[in-house]
Amino acid sequence: MSRRSISRSPSPRAPKRVKIDHLTSEDFKNGIMLAPMHGASLVWGPEMVDKAMLHAERVIDPATGVVSFNGKSRAMFTTHPIEKPYLIFQLGSADPELAVQAARTVMNDVSGIDLNCGCPKPFSTVEPRASLAPYHIYL
């Protein structure tokens, strides 16, 4: 009966760190970290509905540079200029004209706009959007 030697896995290695030369640790002080620090080339923000963005007020915090789009009671969407090269804004719309107006509201603060014409969640199905098409029979 032969004995096998116990195989040992190699020592664990530290994960590779992605270098982003134009960002410094000062850009991420106070515990703020962005996905690009971990290698993401693009990041998507939360989906915002066109009508909400059209009623938002754009405010820039002079101390931090944070851009906020404020609704009636709170900031609906916030970003910082350092995020612009990576940030894609998700816009929910059922109306081409409203979509263009809302896109113009944020276009100087983001790198791109992802138009979402609907999803089968209740907030999207209360108005006609593309996601409702499979649920309707057209005669």
CA distance 52 to 76: 9
What secondary structure does DSSP assign to 19-57, as a single string? P-TT--GGGG-TT---GGGGT-S-EEEEEEEHHHHHT-E
- In the residue annotation, 119 being an active-site residue is answered as yes
**Rg value, the chain, Cα:** 22
* Residue from 32, 54, 107, 119 carrying the catalytic annotation: 119
Name residue, tokens 């410094």. 24
Indicate which residues carry an active-site annotation: 119
